[in-house]
């Protein structure tokens, strides 16, 4: 149904790139920070990116549903087949700290399944795009955040025999909460690579920059929808840590119970051999 020439994909890519230009300008300036709650910052960049993307989406697809971190949730989305799921800046804490490990994340869910994703880091200029069933593309934009060439979607080839998989984990989960030091399993069997935004981690994993991506804390749908779409587009697998099944989207409660994603052989093996351990590893879920 969806492919690289679909208007949904084309508009998603152009909307995210346009928002990226706004975000980059603010990142390179002095900006004010407000707080939605403790440890949850908000900047003008979040709001402008949210407005830029949603205006484009709603102008072109006015009957679609919306789930965004920066607008009040509307239960009407539950009855819609097509729902755009947006985090205008995933990793606002990194943005505020001038750490370029954040991203703009836009995904489309169709009947609860993520079907396309666009993730952009406007500072590193990495654009990762994908359509489930078609593949993923990893592109570096030019200094003006423009595509240098056309997007070419391809699936990945996955190695079944990886001894110590490279694994992206949350920077805060690793350094601040030390979750991966609580059991020697993680450091013994994985090459751990802490990084910021979960959307960015998932996108880089889908682009074959790591074998796996994992978060031991709950994540909202807007954090992971685009990234999960990219993982699936690459031919990978993404599951929550409790049910250990593919993650449904456009749920009444958008909070998901952790995530494990990437090389499907590794994900399936971990579920089979360490399923209960994974379930018990999640923190912050009531």
Domain ranges of the chain: 7-140, 166-281
**pLDDT over 70 at 286, yes or no:** no
Between CA 123 and CA 164 the distance in angstroms is: 30
**pLDDT over 70 at 25, yes or no:** yes
3-state DSSP assignment of residue 171: helix
Domain 166-281 has CATH 1.20.140.10: no
Mean pLDDT in the chain? 95
Using pLDDT thresholds of 50, 70 and 90, give the confidence band for residue 285. Answer: low
Pairing between β-strand 65-68 and β-strand 82-90 as defined by DSSP bridges: parallel
Using pLDDT thresholds of 50, 70 and 90, give the confidence band for residue 31. Answer: confident
Using pLDDT thresholds of 50, 70 and 90, give the confidence band for residue 278. Answer: very high
Using pLDDT thresholds of 50, 70 and 90, give the confidence band for residue 226. Answer: very high
pLDDT digits (tens, 9 = 90+) for 208-221: 999 999 999 999 99
**pLDDT over 90 at 178, yes or no:** yes
pLDDT digits (tens, 9 = 90+) for 54-79: 999 999 999 999 999 999 998 899 99
CATH number, domain 7-140: 3.30.540.10
List the beta strands (DSSP E) in 39-121.
40-43, 65-68, 82-90, 103-110, 113-121
Between CA 225 and CA 8 the distance in angstroms is: 15
Q: What is the mean pLDDT of residues 256-276?
A: 97
pLDDT digits (tens, 9 = 90+) for 93-111: 999 999 999 999 999 999 9
Residues 77 and 112: beta-carbon distance below 8 Å: no
Q: What is the mean pLDDT of residues 280-286?
A: 82
Find the DSSP H helices in the chain.
7-27, 44-60, 92-96, 171, 184-189, 198-206, 221-234, 264-281
> Which residue matches tokens 């250990």?
244
Q: Which is more confidently placed, 31 or 82?
A: 82
């Amino acid at each position: 149904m969806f492919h690289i020439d679909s208007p949904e994909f084309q508009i998603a890519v152009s909307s995210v790139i346009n928002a990226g230009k706004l975000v980059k300008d603010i990142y390179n300036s002095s900006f004010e920070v407000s707080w939605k709650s403790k440890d949850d910052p908000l900047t003008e960049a979040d709001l402008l990116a949210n407005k830029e993307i949603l205006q484009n989406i709603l102008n072109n697809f006015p009957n679609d549903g919306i789930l965004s971190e920066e607008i009040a949730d509307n239960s009407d989305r539950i009855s819609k087949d097509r729902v755009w799921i947006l985090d205008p800046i995933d990793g606002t804490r990194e943005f505020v700290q001038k750490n370029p490990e954040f991203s703009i994340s836009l995904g489309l869910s169709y009947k609860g399944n993520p079907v396309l994703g666009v993730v952009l880091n406007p500072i590193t200029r990495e654009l990762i795009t994908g359509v489930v069933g078609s593949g993923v593309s990893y592109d570096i934009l030019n200094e003006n955040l423009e595509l240098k060439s056309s997007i070419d979607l391809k699936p990945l080839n996955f190695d079944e025999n990886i001894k110590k998989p490279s694994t992206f984990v949350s920077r805060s989960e690793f350094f601040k909460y030390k979750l991966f030091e609580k059991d020697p399993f993680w450091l013994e069997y994985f090459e751990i690579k802490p990084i910021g935004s979960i959307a960015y981690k998932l996108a880089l994993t889908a682009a074959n920059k790591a074998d796996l991506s994992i978060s031991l804390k709950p994540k909202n749908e807007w954090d992971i929808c685009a990234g999960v779409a990219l993982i699936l587009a690459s031919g990978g697998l993404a599951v929550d840590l409790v049910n250990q099944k593919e993650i449904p989207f456009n749920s009444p409660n958008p909070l998901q119970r952790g995530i494990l994603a990437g090389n499907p052989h590794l994900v399936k093996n971990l579920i089979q051999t360490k399923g209960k351990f994974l379930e018990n590893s999640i923190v912050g879920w009531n």
